[in-house]
Amino acid sequence: MDSNSFDSVDYLILASITQGVTKYTSIFKNCKKTNAAKFRDHVNKLEDVNLITIDKSDNWFTRNTNPSIILKDEGKRFVKEHSTKINQEWELFKVKNG
Domain ranges of the chain: 3-74
Examine the pLDDT at 2 and tell me if it is beyond 70: no
- Topology (CATH) of 3-74: Arc Repressor Mutant, subunit A (1.10.10)
The b-or-e profile of 8-39 (16+ CB within 10 A means b, else e) is bbbbbbbbbbbeebbbbeebbebbeebeeeeb
Averaged over 17-38, what is the pLDDT?
94
* Residues 34-78: tens digit of each pLDDT: 999 999 999 999 999 999 999 999 999 999 999 999 999 999 999
Examine the pLDDT at 98 and tell me if it is beyond 90: no
Cross-strand pairs, 52: 71
